[in-house]
Structure 1
Amino acid sequence: MALKTKIYAICLLLLTLAVLVLVLLRIDAAPRTDDAYVYADTISVVPEVSGRIIELPVKDNQLVKRGELLYRIDPRSFQNILDASQARLITLNEQIKLSERSVSAQQYNAEAVAAQIASARSQYQQAQETYNRKLALSEKNYVSKEELDLARTFRNTAEANYNSAKLQARQASAAVSGVDALVAQRNEVQAQISEAKLNLEYSEVRAPFDGRITSLKTSAGQYASPSQSVMTLIDTRQWYVIANFRETDLQGVTEGTTATVFIMADTNKSFSGTVDSVSYGVAPGDSASVGGLQFVEKTINWVHVSQRFPVKIKMSGYDRRLFRIGASAVVTLHRGNKYERE
């Protein structure tokens, strides 16, 4: 009887050891953690322009489709700027046409004006020389006073003609400069029109992707500005789970390693995923994040424990009822099983 008891005890001990070894091997091959949470990309929906919200057809936690209107800012001020700029553009175009016609006419006569200047300059120089010569002769009484007066008159007339020709040339140059100034104004107005059209487009804020609204902070009638977030939009097209694993469990874990995920809200349902990436940096110690690194709090402070690193798992499917950002999860990695991405 005693022998049978000893044999039974030894068998039980061996069985226990075998089960323990199998459990340890299984744990080593498939590390598991309950320090995990659901994650998805988010954006803060911030207006590009300032104004009063006149339409807000969505509500908090609502699902929206890409292109669906989230809110509309009063567009009247932007429309007024656009209308005024377009009217100004029409006026400038007409002014430029008239000025270009004038310039074309003056440029057509440019060669004639240049010839007139040369001729007037020559006549003026000749009249000036004649006057100077007769002025010198008049001092010796070789020229009468009437001849000197006539030479002075010719000189003054030639000078006036020369100045008139130069004035015509300056007017032609000024006309060209005037067209350049009008063209510069037109370019400025066209830029204002483009900006007004863009602001009109910005006054309607639409969903850039399929998602769920959260943290809705305002209502219709509220004044919105580019410095204030109106709501947050969760990208529900792709969900992730961030699981913190001990560094000793990361051996053999690479991109594509398969994972099984349970959401705490319903542990009867499992989900599949693959490792998207393994973090290469966390903040050491018990302080807050340093240099932008993630901080993973240690669960035991009185013994030295392995550091834990976040593993980002890309989910291949999800349940809309269970997947919420921050929801607790349990993750098991299957080392050796790897999903090959195309």
Structure 2
Amino acid sequence: MAGRRRAVGRLIAFGIVTGFVILAIVVVERVVRHPQTDDAVVTADIIGVVPQVSGTITELHVKDNQRVKQGDLLLVVDPRPYEFALQRARAEVAALDGEIEVTERRIEGQRFAVAAARASVQRMEAQLRNATDSLHRLEPLLSREFVTPDKIDQARTARLSAAAGLDEARGKMDQAEKDVGDLEALRAKRDAALAARGKAELDLDFCYVRAQFDALVVNLHTAIGAFVAPGPVPVFSLVDTRAWYVMADYRETEFTHIAPGMEAEVYVLTNPHYRFRGSVQGIGWAVNPEDQPITPGVPQIKRELNWVHIAQRFPVRIRVENPEPPDVFRVGASAVAIIRGWPADRPVATPE
């Protein structure tokens, strides 16, 4: 009887040990095939709100931690100086338009005058050449008394008169051509005035700062009356709520089971009762080991002891496919990420 009990005890113990071994194999196989980490944080794209014009805040339409929609008015920089600048730019364009119109009318009336002036120049040049040739023919004949001095004087006078007429004709032609050149200069000035007017309109529009996307207002520490200006320091920041991500640090030894496009399961510790589906967007190509920095400008990730080898961790970026309810997601919140392999249908944001 005692031997039978011992045999049953051995069978039970063997069954328990076998069960533990099988369970251990299943757990290890599952962990290896589906890498999991709790070294993960929730993140999103964040932009600093910096006005593109300087001035005093006259209106502030948001509060810290407020949700805003795309197109919502966030703040207003005093627009009066920019309204005056726009009025001045518009007046400059209008003045140039009037001046161009007057010049065009004058040129239109002078188009035939220009043609006549050119013809007159050509005619006077011909008369000058004839008078010069005539003088050159008569001057040698004076010493032989074939011509009288009066003829020479007449020829010289004709030459001088032709030269004066030519100068006058050229002056008229130059004036007509100058008017055409003035018109081109006025048109160039108008182009510059139009650019200045566009800049003034843009500056006035920049006085009204609006949300470029659905977002959360964070780090708001200002009030009406504060002076703001373009620069590196934002007035406040906006968290882009259109897309949420989890940055999960995985050991380099687990990369054989992680690839972009794979499905992931995410739990956020602000409310771990919700399970979210995500997809791997990419694996970091560069990190700075904590004990041996390589170069600035890349993230610094701690190593992890993996049996006898200290394994380096790399960030894996996971995009959450349907971040609902939205109150669960906060930038910097802790998360747990599990890589489930290539895409498969799974429930999204289902309370457990």
Pairing 1:53–2:57 present: yes
- Equivalent residue runs for 1:78-93 within 5 Å: 78-93=82-97
Deviations 1:58-90 (A, max 9, x none): 111110000001112222222222211211212
Pairing 1:121–2:137 present: no
Task: Using the TM superposition, give the Cα deviation of residue 303 of structure 1 relative to its aligned residue in structure 2, in angstroms.
Answer: 4.8
Deviations 1:30-69 (A, max 9, x none): 3321101101112222222222222221111110000001
Change (3 A) 1:132 1:212: same
Task: Using the TM superposition, give the Cα deviation of residue 294 of structure 1 relative to its aligned residue in structure 2, in angstroms.
Answer: 2.7
> Alignment identity in percent?
34
The answer to whether the 8 A contact 1:275-1:313 is kept is: yes
For residue 321 of structure 1, what is the aligned residue in structure 2? Answer: 327
Deviations 1:148-190 (A, max 9, x none): 5544444333322221111111111111111111111111111
For residue 215 of structure 1, what is the aligned residue in structure 2? Answer: 219
Change (3 A) 1:125 1:25: closer
Task: Using the TM superposition, give the Cα deviation of residue 336 of structure 1 relative to its aligned residue in structure 2, in angstroms.
Answer: 5.6
Change (3 A) 1:218 1:301: farther
Pairing 1:246–2:251 present: yes
Change (3 A) 1:301 1:46: farther
For residue 231 of structure 2, what is the aligned residue in structure 1? Answer: 227
Q: Distance in 1 between matches of 2:163 and 2:262?
A: 97
Which segment drifts farther, 112-121 or 190-199? 112-121
The answer to whether the 8 A contact 1:258-1:339 is kept is: no
Which segment drifts farther, 299-308 or 169-178? 299-308
Change (3 A) 1:133 1:322: same
For residue 15 of structure 2, what is the aligned residue in structure 1? Answer: 11
Pairing 1:278–2:278 present: no
- Structure 2: which amino acid aligns with 1:69? L
Pairing 1:174–2:178 present: yes
Pairing 1:71–2:87 present: no
Length, aligned pairs only: 340
Q: Distance in 1 between matches of 2:244 and 2:134?
A: 100
Normalized against structure 1, the TM-score is what? 0.87
Structure 2 alignment gaps of length 5 or more: 347-352
Which segment drifts farther, 183-192 or 250-259? 250-259
Change (3 A) 1:332 1:118: closer
For residue 45 of structure 2, what is the aligned residue in structure 1? Answer: 41
**Alignment root-mean-square deviation, CA:** 2.7
- Structure 1: which amino acid aligns with 2:279? T
Q: Distance in 2 between matches of 1:188 and 1:251?
A: 61
Which segment drifts farther, 165-174 or 243-252? 243-252
Change (3 A) 1:289 1:146: same
Pairing 1:158–2:162 present: yes
The answer to whether the 8 A contact 2:33-2:257 is kept is: no
Structure 1 alignment gaps of length 5 or more: none
Task: Using the TM superposition, give the Cα deviation of residue 20 of structure 1 relative to its aligned residue in structure 2, in angstroms.
Answer: 2.1
Q: Distance in 2 between matches of 1:109 and 1:210?
A: 66
Deviations 1:213-235 (A, max 9, x none): 11224332222222132221111
For residue 330 of structure 1, what is the aligned residue in structure 2? Answer: 336
Shift >6 Å, 4+ stretches: none
Change (3 A) 1:118 1:18: closer
Change (3 A) 1:153 1:299: same
The answer to whether the 8 A contact 1:256-1:339 is kept is: no
Normalized against structure 2, the TM-score is what? 0.85
Which segment drifts farther, 49-58 or 293-302? 293-302
For residue 350 of structure 2, what is the aligned residue in structure 1? Answer: none
SS at match of 2:327: coil
Change (3 A) 1:30 1:135: closer
- Structure 2: which amino acid aligns with 1:250? F
Q: Distance in 2 between matches of 1:108 and 1:323?
A: 78
Q: Distance in 2 between matches of 1:253 and 1:186?
A: 61
Change (3 A) 1:129 1:33: closer
The counterpart of 1:265, out of the listed 267, 270, 287, is 270
Q: Distance in 2 between matches of 1:99 and 1:302?
A: 89
The answer to whether the 8 A contact 1:239-1:318 is kept is: no
